[in-house]
Amino acid sequence: MKKVAVIMGSDSDWPVVKGACAQLEEFGIPCEAHILSAHRTPVAAAGFARNARANGFGVLICAAGMAAHLAGAFAGNSTLPVIGIPMKGGAMDGLDALLATVQMPGGIPVATVAINGAKNAAVLAAQILAVSDDALAAKLDAARETMVAQIAEKEAKLQAELGN
Ligand code: RP5
């Protein structure tokens, strides 16, 4: 199976970003986490992105806060799908990162998830890999079934509490 790279701009992003790694592991998807910055380590970041396909990666997840150019820099250096996670924090509390990550120029897309949306980044990466992996697609279907069962249980509890 192709690997997923989980890249973050700083170790300060890790407490949130590790949620993406946990979700990928739950689906049995091999992943590597690295700290690389579009601004602080631009040469290493570009090198990683340029070699990612040859190194066995299928999807790149990039998390960054504030002037969040990491996902865009990766997208500019690779034709692998790039998923951006704008990180909460800084003077604008993540709105700056959201706009910097999502507002890409034509031809260089970044699939941007919610601010701090590490879980959805991992699920989206799994869905991309599942296009050509039936076993992974079955795991995604099973996860949806679990969600349906959980909501049904919560609904039953709520109705019981309301006396219905
Ligand atoms: C971004 O700046 C990082 O992704 C992080 O979200 C933010 C703050 O980084 P630190 O100052 O905590 O290293 O590049």
Residue 123's SS3 state is helix
Q: How far apart are CA 101 and CA 20, in angstroms?
A: 17
Mutational pocket test of ligand 1: of 8, 11, 12, the residue with most ligand atoms within 8 Å of the beta carbon: 12
Rg (CA), the chain: 17
CA of 13 to the centre of ligand 1 (A): 7
pLDDT band, residue 64 (cuts 50/70/90): very high
Do 118 and 107 fall within a single domain? Answer: yes
Do 112 and 163 fall within a single domain? Answer: no
% residues pLDDT > 70 (the chain): 100
Do 43 and 88 fall within a single domain? Answer: yes
The reported pLDDT for the residue numbered 40 is: 98
Do 92 and 128 fall within a single domain? Answer: yes
Q: In sequence order, which residues have a C-beta less than 8 Å from that of residue 161 and are 6 or more positions away?
A: none
Do 163 and 120 fall within a single domain? Answer: no
The reported pLDDT for the residue numbered 16 is: 98
Range of the domain at 59: 3-132
The reported pLDDT for the residue numbered 128 is: 98
Q: How far apart are CA 59 and CA 117, in angstroms?
A: 16
Q: Read off the CATH number of the domain in which 20 is found.
A: 3.40.50.1970
Pairing of strands 3-8, 31-35: parallel
Domain tally, the chain: 2
Q: How far apart are CA 61 and CA 84, in angstroms?
A: 6
Q: Report the pLDDT averaged over residues 33-37.
A: 98
